[in-house]
Amino acid sequence: MLLENVRKRMNSSFDNLLRDFGGLRTGRVSVQILDHIMVEAYGSKVPIHQVGTISTPEAKMLTVQVWDSSLIKPTEIAIRNSQLGLNPMVDGQLIRITVPDLSEERRKEICKLAGKYAEQTRISIRNVRRDGMDEVKKQEKNKEVTEDQQKKLSDDIQKITDEFIKKIDTALSVKEKEVMRV
């Protein structure tokens, strides 16, 4: 039960990393680069995909088909104010976003950001490991597990941790190659 919980929490952290990586721009245009944009709508902030349909009609263009005409301006402002450096153009209820090619400098910045996301996830994984180890020590102290069982559980937690750290490193490497590809 303890190992399942540790694996589940680590997997959740890894899934968050992949979601963060999806929001980073690469050479190809992807609808996921807009995923982190929040639009002021109906008195609260909502994800952009809840106000319209996002698509990629061309290799270097994104469109957002806004469902409610009163949300066109807030959607345009949210895209413009995002840290993505995009310049949306409104055409009726359609917002067109031409995505410029990435400069070498911008590619390096994105790689640094990807590295930062990966390091935050490693820290999260290590925190889950620490919590798991603390729980094992507590169980041994309370005589719920033997010393041998405690040693085995600790080793298993470390193996799971190593597995996830390796997955993070692999995902980071793939993302960096994707970003640096011209």
pLDDT in tens, 71-101: 888 988 888 888 777 888 888 888 888 877 7
Domain boundaries for CATH 1.10.132.20 within the chain: 2-21+103-180
Nearest to 17 by CA among 159, 116, 160: 116
145 vs 165, more confident: 165
- Cα dihedral: 112, 114, 119, 122 (round 10): -160
What pLDDT is stored for residue 1 in this prediction? 81
CB 7 within 8 A of CB 160: yes
Q: Comparing C-alpha atoms, which of 53, 72, 76, 75 is closest to residue 64?
A: 53
Percent of the chain with pLDDT over 70: 97
Cα separations in angstroms, 62 against 2, 57, 58, 81? 45, 7, 7, 16
Match domain 2-21+103-180 to its CATH number in 1.10.132.20, 3.20.20.80, 3.10.20.30, 3.40.50.620.
1.10.132.20
pLDDT at 168 over 90: yes
**Which amino acid makes up residue 44?**
S
The pLDDT confidence band at residue 182, using thresholds 50, 70 and 90, is low
In whole angstroms, give the CA distance from residue 79 to residue 17: 22
Q: Please give the Cα distance from 41 to 23 (Å, whole number).
A: 21
Closest listed residue to residue 71, CA positions, set 55, 88, 52 = 52
- Flag whether pLDDT at 13 surpasses 90: yes
Within the chain, all domains assigned CATH 3.30.1360.40 are found at 28-98
> Using one digit for the tens of pLDDT, what is the confidence trace for 111-146?
888 899 999 999 999 999 999 999 999 998 888 888
Is the domain spanning 28-98 CATH 3.30.70.270? The answer is no
